[in-house]
Amino acid sequence: MAALSTKPHSHGAVVPVSSRAEHFTSYDVNAFEVPGGREEIWRFTPLKRLAGLHSGAAATGTAAVEVSAAEGVTVETVGRDDSRLGTAGVPGDRVAAQAYSSFENATIVTLPGDVKSEPTTVTVTGAGVDAVAYGHIQIKASQFAEGTVILDFRGSGAYADNVEFLVADGAHLTVITIHDWADDAVHVSQHHVKLGRDATIKHTVVTLGGDVVRVTPVVQYAGRGGDAELFGLYFADAGQHQEHRPFIDHAQAKCRSNVVYKGALQGDGAHTVWIGDVLIRAAAEGTETFELNRNLILTDGARADSVPNLEIETGEIEGAGHASATGRFDDEQLFYLQARGIPEDQARRLVVRGFFQELIAKIAVPEVRERLEAAIEAELEAVGT
């Protein structure tokens, strides 16, 4: 079956329309041109605010990585030359390649096989105001491992990194990444997920703080039966830019993916971008995939861009779909709650909490769930509607 990503040209040639399949990747920063802002993958990103992460800024500091490891989980700090690094995926844009070309040490966290481990928390603290840092983290779930890793990003400065998730055959990894940066922070991050046969990942991205946060989670399947659930929850205030670009690359048969990202925006210049790419290659027969992005705009002056892309190169799929909706606050919901005596500000909070509820309910770590609920509460407090 012909790829949907190509279209016939008037001269009979076939001209590809930027298919995800042809997306360029390299470990070497010099293989990428410095982006000018017009490029498809950069056109939504405010390059001027990236502190030069995209144009060769040298590291001026180091982000501190602290791991609070559960029993049985091993933590290693390794040099650039460790052969295990880079196996989950190849950087897909210049900033990711810059990070890969620039980090000095990497942290490898390994969950033991065949057992269930308690949650492990990796805390990354930025190098400080005006400092630039690069990093690399690899999370490995050994065969039949089962466990949760929380990645907690905080502090100040500009930071670019690659985070690898190697989920071995039959392993079940739950990941919660929280971007709770200080107001000045800039973070450009690529996540590389590689799922073994019958491996599953539940990958949740939470973005609350920072000036610019851009996260590109890429999922690849190394065998049949892989299952990826990607959830995202973001809340952008005045002036914040939050960009999430999940890409699911279905190249194996009988795999599943489900992507649900939800965001709320408030305040002047709050900007969120969601680009959800799903590619079902010819070999990926029996794929089942769905992706959804919903945005709730709470005030004027906020803007949400949402672009789902589904490319299907095989007719033999189980099911594929996508949906995207961006809406203003629902006045009918507000009216209904107020008509029962609930004051307007409280009614608003109920509706927003309700909007995020399905995702929050999926977070299995109570402390993280409570922290998120409190964070959303604080965000809503800040509007003072």
Partner 1 sequence: MATLEIKDLHVSVVSEDAPKEILKGVDLTIKAGETHAIMGPNGSGKSTLSYAIAGHPKYTITSGTVTLDGEDVLEMSVDERARAGLFLAMQYPVEVPGVSMSNFLRTAATAVRGEAPNLRHWVKEVKGAMADLDIDPAFAERSVNEGFSGGEKKRHEILQLGLLQPKIAILDETDSGLDVDALRVVSEGVNRYKASGEVGVMLITHYTRILKYIQPDFVHVFANGRIVESGGRELADVLESEGYVKYTGSKEAAALS
331-338 helix and 344-360 helix, angle to the nearest 10 degrees: 120
| Cβ distance to partner 1 smaller for residue 204 or 257 | 204
| Cβ distance to partner 1 smaller for residue 13 or 339 | 339
Find the shortest distance in angstroms from Cβ 131 to partner 1: 40
Give dist(CA 248, CA 243) in Å, integer: 16
Find the shortest distance in angstroms from Cβ 339 to partner 1: 5
Find the shortest distance in angstroms from Cβ 356 to partner 1: 7
Find the shortest distance in angstroms from Cβ 333 to partner 1: 5
CB 276, CB 309: distance < 8 Å: yes
| Cβ distance to partner 1 smaller for residue 3 or 351 | 351
CB 237, CB 269: distance < 8 Å: no
| Cβ distance to partner 1 smaller for residue 66 or 344 | 344
Find the shortest distance in angstroms from Cβ 172 to partner 1: 27
Give dist(CA 101, CA 91) in Å, integer: 10
Find the shortest distance in angstroms from Cβ 345 to partner 1: 10
Q: Which residues lie below 8 Å from residue 50, measured CB to CB, with a gap of 6+?
A: 95, 158, 186, 188, 212
Find the shortest distance in angstroms from Cβ 343 to partner 1: 5
Give dist(CA 202, CA 102) in Å, integer: 29
| Cβ distance to partner 1 smaller for residue 55 or 299 | 299
- The count of other CB atoms within 10 Å of the CB of residue 324 is 17
Instruction: Give the Å distances, CA to CA, from 186 to 49, 50, 128.
Output: 8, 6, 11
CB 285, CB 256: distance < 8 Å: no
Give dist(CA 57, CA 94) in Å, integer: 12
Which residues on adjacent β-strands are paired with residue 215?
Answer: 189, 244
Return residues touching partner 1 (CB under 8 A): 331-333, 335-344, 346-347, 350-351, 353-358
Find the shortest distance in angstroms from Cβ 325 to partner 1: 12
DSSP states of 227-291: EEEEEEEEEE-TT-EEEE--EEEE-STT-EEEEEEEEEE-STT-EEEEEEEEEE-TT-TT-EEEE
| Cβ distance to partner 1 smaller for residue 256 or 348 | 348
Q: Of 85, 183, 175, nearest to 136 (Cα)?
A: 85
| Cβ distance to partner 1 smaller for residue 315 or 341 | 341
| Cβ distance to partner 1 smaller for residue 250 or 349 | 349
| Cβ distance to partner 1 smaller for residue 223 or 263 | 263
Find the shortest distance in angstroms from Cβ 375 to partner 1: 17
Find the shortest distance in angstroms from Cβ 362 to partner 1: 12
| CA angle (213 as vertex; 208, 218 as ends), nearest 5 | 105
Give dist(CA 209, CA 242) in Å, integer: 9
| Cβ distance to partner 1 smaller for residue 38 or 340 | 340
Tokens 């992507």 label which residue?
A: 259
- The count of other CB atoms within 10 Å of the CB of residue 126 is 27
| CA angle (95 as vertex; 86, 87 as ends), nearest 5 | 10
